[in-house]
Chains A and B, each alone.
Chain A
Amino acid sequence: MSVGAPHVQGGIGQSIRRKEDARFIRGKGNYIDDVKMPGMLYLDITRSPYAHAKITAIRTERALKVPGVLAVITGKDLEAAGLAWMPTLMSDKQMVLPTDTVMYQAQEVAAVVADSRYAAADGAAAVEVDYEPLPVVTNPFKALEPGAPVIRTDRKEQSNHIWHWETGDKAGTDQLLTSSPVRVAQDLYIPRIHVSSMETCGCVAHLDSISGRFTIYMTTQAPHAIRTVLALVAGLPEQNIRVISPDIGGGFGGKVPVYPGYVLAAVAAIKTGHPVKWIEDRSENLQADSFARDYHIHAEVGATSDGKVTALKVKTLADHGYTDAAANPSKFPAGLFHIITGSYPFSKAFVEVDAAYTNKPPGGIAYRCSFRVTEAVYTIERMMDILAHRLKIDPAELRLKNFIPPEAFPYASALGWTYDSGNYAGALQKAMQIIDYAGLRREQAEKRRRGELMGIGISSFTEIVGAGPSSTFDILGIKMFDAAEVRIHPTGKVLARFGTKSQGQGHETTYAQILAEELGIPADDIRVEEGDTDTAPYGLGTYASRSTPTAGAAASMAARKIRDKAQKIAAHLLEVSPDDIEWKDYAFRVKGVPTKSKTMQEVAFAAYTNHPQGMEAGLEAVDYYDPPNMTYPFGSYICVVDIDKETGQVKVRRFVAVDDCGTIINPMIVDGQIHGGLTMGFAPALLEEIQYDENGNVRGGSFVDYLLPTAVETPRWETAKTVTPSPHHPIGAKGVGESATVGAPPAIVNAIVDALQPYGVEHIDIPVHPWKVWQILHAAESKAK
Chain B
Amino acid sequence: MAAAARPVSPAASLTSAGGTLVHVRVTVNGQPVVAEVEPRTLLVHFLREVLGLTGTHIGCDTTNCGACTVHLDGKPVKSCTVLAVQTDGRDVRTVEGLEVGGKLSPIQEAFVECHGLQCGFCTPGMMMTATALLARNPNPTEDEVRDAIRGNLCRCTGYVNIVKAIQLAGQKMQTTAAGAGGKP
Contact = CB atoms under 8 A, between A and B. Distances in A.
Contact of A118 (B40, B58, B111): B40
Contact of B115 (A18, A198, A505, A703): A18
B73 interface: no
Given A18-B112, A676-B155, A31 B121 contact: yes
B150 A250 contact: no
A28 B99 CA distance: 12
Given A17-B113, A42-B13, A26 B99 contact: yes
A582 interface: no
B53 A672 contact: no
A28 B54 CA distance: 7
A118 B11 CA distance: 11
B182 interface: no
A24 to B, nearest CB: 3
A261 to B, nearest CB: 16
A198 B119 contact: yes
Contacts of B17: 67-68
A673 B155 CA distance: 11
Instruction: Pick the most buried of A27, A668, A673, A676: most chain B CB atoms within 10 A of its CB.
Output: A27
B167 interface: no
Nearest to A33: B58
B96 A26 contact: yes
Interface stretch (A394-402, A403-411, A442-450, A706-714): A706-714
Contacts of A23: 120
A66 B18 CA distance: 10
A117 interface: yes
A524 interface: no
B117 A25 contact: yes
B56 interface: yes
Contact of A67 (B19, B94, B99, B120): B19
B61 A281 contact: yes
Contact of B12 (A115, A668, A672): A115
A722 B77 CA distance: 44
Contacts of B62: 282-283, 702-704
Contact of A282 (B40, B49, B59, B115): B59
A26 B96 CA distance: 6
Contacts of B145: 711
Given A18-B115, A116-B16, A716 B121 contact: no
Contacts of A469: none
Contacts of A168: none
Nearest to A702: B62
Given A675-B158, A702-B61, A198 B121 contact: yes
Q: How large is the interface on A (under 10, 10 to 19, 20 to 34, 35 or more residues)?
A: 35 or more
Contact of A680 (B40, B127, B155): B155
A213 B163 CA distance: 46
A711 B150 contact: yes
B55 interface: yes
A711 B133 CA distance: 15
Interface string B108-125: 100111010111111110
Nearest to B19: A67
Interface in A346-366: none
Interface string B61-97: 1101101000000000000000000000000001110
A450 B157 CA distance: 38
A282 B61 contact: yes
A411 B8 CA distance: 67
Given A679-B158, A704-B64, A711-B159, A20 B16 contact: no
Interface in A704-757: 704, 708, 710-712, 714, 716-717
Contacts of A714: 146, 158-159
Contacts of B40: 118
Contacts of A505: 118
B16 A25 contact: no
A117 B153 contact: no
Interface string A117-138: 1110010000000000000000
Interface residues of B, number: 66
Given A116-B14, A678-B158, A504 B119 contact: yes
A712 B65 contact: no
Contacts of A669: 115
Interface string B124-147: 100100000000000000100111
B171 interface: no
Among B15, B54, B120: residue with most chain A CB under 10 A: B120
B103 to A, nearest CB: 12
A761 B40 CA distance: 54
A287 to B, nearest CB: 11
Nearest to B151: A710
A322 B35 CA distance: 47
A643 interface: no
Contact of A116 (B15, B60, B61, B158): B15
Contacts of A198: 57, 59, 65, 67, 119, 121-122, 153-156
A21 interface: yes
A34 interface: yes
Contacts of B142: 716
A772 to B, nearest CB: 24
A25 B96 CA distance: 9
Contacts of A607: none
A25 B54 contact: no
A600 interface: no
A769 B17 CA distance: 49
A33 B54 contact: yes
14 contacts: A24-B117, A26-B96, A26-B99, A40-B13, A67-B17, A118-B40, A282-B60, A283-B62, A506-B118, A676-B158, A704-B62, A710-B152, A711-B146, A711-B159
Given A25-B104, A119-B16, A716-B160, 12 more contacts: A25-B108, A27-B96, A116-B12, A198-B65, A248-B119, A250-B119, A252-B155, A668-B115, A673-B118, A676-B118, A710-B150, A710-B152
The 5 closest A-B pairs by CB, nearest first: A27-B55, A504-B119, A24-B120, A249-B121, A675-B158
Interface of B: 12-19, 38, 40-41, 45, 48-49, 53-62, 64-65, 67, 94-96, 98-99, 104, 108, 111-113, 115, 117-124, 127, 142, 145-147, 149-163
